[in-house]
Chains A and B, each alone.
Chain A
């Protein structure tokens, strides 16, 4: 079976391509890419399926470095099946699963179980991220060589910061031995005890304890020094402050090996979204102020923040439908990511090629994952995007079990129309309005 994606705008930053061209897929791989690559293939040809992509973007399937699939242990929030279906609906064909499951993914057996489950039941590819420390307690290192052999592509204590400088230093050194990126959730917990949202005028108004920027910034500053001195691969999870962006820019200028991600919500929302005690907007790190959002957008545009990651964090309804202080942190992100970020492209803030890079080849490079390109011979992970399609976010239609989105009811422009994973169509957009008709 041959699939021909005809005459779409093919944006593949890894191969430097941005032109209207054809993509020919065969046996789950990209057979040919280029202007006229489809030759005279037509709909109705034997064993050939032609997808007209005029006016569409044809891009590599997205790579999410930061997904909470919640399995094992928290399947009432999400599982590998629902999470990978949500990923496909967002154009993601590779997701990296954070280890703060129950039990924590800090051993080979759990990683193997996740990989096996994802292979047999997952809709897209899943790469586990192992914990940095046992139980994510910040003290003893995990068996990183084992974790890597079992399939982990990085280590992280996400949700918890490795605050102890000695432990962080040893983690970086040890991970370097096995060339594993160390992903830091930068938060000095001593500065954020009881914090509910960003520290600022809005938090004061709402009477909610604040999470100051400095709790992130000083961990990032310290970690960059440790990364420089150890030569390890350091990756900053969910940058949220102007300070983080400035520190990263300076570190890159000195040639330090770092990568960093930013989430769609930190690029599009400010702390004012929390007003009215909207628990859907309670997230860690918190939504910050306009100046931070602008700095993050600029840092995404210039590549200082090389990756976009969703920090997709599904929760059950009762974990959000409660008093603000009791509500859990996090929001779902896979299925709304692209539409939100296309706003930045339309506003001229981020170039289309940079956005696609941040969702594909940059994250693949950061974790050394074989994905994120439409080069000939590559696995046929492809997203077809209609950048002009207007739709309404409706959480009831999410593939994710999580409905905790702050974007409910929002009219957005740009959708993932089809997603192919290894040449198999794993998602097709259906317009709710058309279904209603």
Chain B
């Protein structure tokens, strides 16, 4: 089984069927990472280039581990933004990589739409590993994968996403995916961090975290970055923690079996209290584990030969 999709640029371009196919395929790979020999020959002879223009530990490592466990040749290219300004254009970089015949280019870039741009200029499959404030599709897939494992389904769940929605590609990709699979989505943030026109995602908007969490099945907290202070978007991390931070008292208002998620890296004591992050209800490390399986699934669906089975 191979996907008709050439690239994974965003959840926006995926149908509910495509999403389920990614999730189901990833289930096949989940156990590979728990075996004693954590490697299958599926993508032997394939080349995956991780092209990272933004610092990332978790995502880059996750893609690298996923590629290697599939036996692909994985090349990591970390390009710092400062060298870009002096160096060659993204178009020339892509043309040069193209000349080396990669099968997959995994790209993280600070500019929204960069993955789309690359996809227009390469024959390789392009995986968007986060573009600006646009999308982070593999994060949404691994989040959905984690929720589905914990709850058995996605439809009709109430998912609260709280934090810096305005600057979050994770919130965008998650909202689209969860809505497409029938979940209810709530967004909660101070108005300075809530983007204009967010209602078009079909989400409910809340100003109060307690009310946003009321009866939720899933509470997903987003990282707040320190730049938001100098941009006059929030006055202090202290006030942010007091009004929009998740603590045990607020979490009590969620369903008794609600799970807590965070895409990382966490600011403990700011958007999430340590006792919540480390509680049995936290699935934050499950998300990381799911990340490898989901990225194996994505690489397989985009790069495997037609008829190639997942595990051999």
Q: A residues within 8 Å of B by Cβ?
A: 196, 199-210, 212, 276-277, 318, 321-326
Contacts and interface: CB of A to CB of B under 8 A. Distances in A.
B172 interface: yes
A201 B91 contact: no
Interface in B115-135: 116-117, 131-135
A212 B196 CA distance: 10
Contacts of A323: 90, 109, 111, 113-114, 117
B197 A206 contact: no
A322 B133 contact: no
Contacts of B198: 201, 204
Contact of B12 (A205, A321, A325): A205
A249 B221 CA distance: 47
B197 A202 contact: yes
B200 interface: yes
A376 B91 CA distance: 56
8 contacts: A199-B196, A200-B196, A203-B196, A204-B200, A207-B132, A207-B135, A207-B172, A324-B111
Interface in B57-104: 89-91
Contact of A206 (B89, B109, B113): B113
For the complex of A and B, list the 7 residue pairs with the smallest distance between their C-beta atoms, beginning with the closest: A201-B197, A207-B134, A277-B113, A207-B112, A207-B133, A323-B111, A204-B195
What is the interface of chain A mostly: helix, strand, loop, or mixed?
Answer: loop
B262 interface: no
Interface string B132-156: 1111000000000000000000000
Contacts of B117: 277, 322-324
Nearest to B167: A207
A207 B131 contact: yes
B90 A322 contact: yes
What is the interface of chain B mostly: helix, strand, loop, or mixed?
Answer: mixed
Contacts of B196: 199-201, 203-204, 210, 212
A325 B90 CA distance: 12
A65 to B, nearest CB: 32
Contact of A326 (B111, B131, B135, B199): B111
A210 B195 CA distance: 9
B169 interface: yes
Contacts of A206: 112-113, 134
Interface string B243-275: 000000000000000000000000000000000
Nearest to B118: A323
Nearest to A201: B197
A324 B89 CA distance: 13
| Most A Cβ at <10 Å: residue of B91, B113, B196 | B113
A415 B133 CA distance: 42
Contact residues on B (Cβ < 8 Å of other chain), bracket: 20 to 34
B104 to A, nearest CB: 20
A318 B112 contact: no
Contacts of B172: 204-205, 207
A272 to B, nearest CB: 12
Contact of B169 (A207, A210, A322): A207
A210 B197 CA distance: 11
Nearest to A277: B113
B197 A200 contact: yes
A208 B131 CA distance: 10
A397 B117 CA distance: 26
Contacts of A208: 112-113, 132-134
Nearest to B172: A207
A202 B117 CA distance: 18
B128 to A, nearest CB: 11
Nearest to B117: A323
| Most A Cβ at <10 Å: residue of B91, B112, B172 | B112
A318 B89 contact: yes
Given A318-B89, A322-B90, 11 more contacts: A201-B196, A201-B199, A203-B195, A204-B195, A205-B12, A205-B200, A208-B113, A277-B113, A325-B110, A325-B132, A326-B111
A336 B91 CA distance: 29
Contacts of B91: 318, 321-322
Contacts of B200: 201, 204-205
Interface in B28-79: none
Contacts of A209: 133
Contact of A276 (B116, B133, B169): B116
Nearest to A326: B111
Contacts of B195: 203-204, 210
Contacts of A207: 112-113, 131-135, 169, 172
Nearest to B173: A207
A147 B132 CA distance: 44
Contacts of A203: 195-197
A297 B12 CA distance: 33
A206 B90 CA distance: 19
A157 to B, nearest CB: 26
Contacts of B113: 206-208, 277, 323-325
Contact of B112 (A199, A200, A276, A324): A324
Contact of A277 (B12, B110, B116, B133): B116
Nearest to B110: A325
Contacts of A325: 110-113, 132
A201 B110 CA distance: 20
Contacts of A276: 116
A141 to B, nearest CB: 32
A318 B117 CA distance: 13
A206 B195 CA distance: 11
Nearest to A276: B116
Interface in B181-212: 195-200
A204 B197 contact: yes
Nearest to B134: A207
B100 to A, nearest CB: 21
| Most A Cβ at <10 Å: residue of B89, B116, B195, B200 | B195
A216 to B, nearest CB: 15
Nearest to A198: B196
A190 B127 CA distance: 35
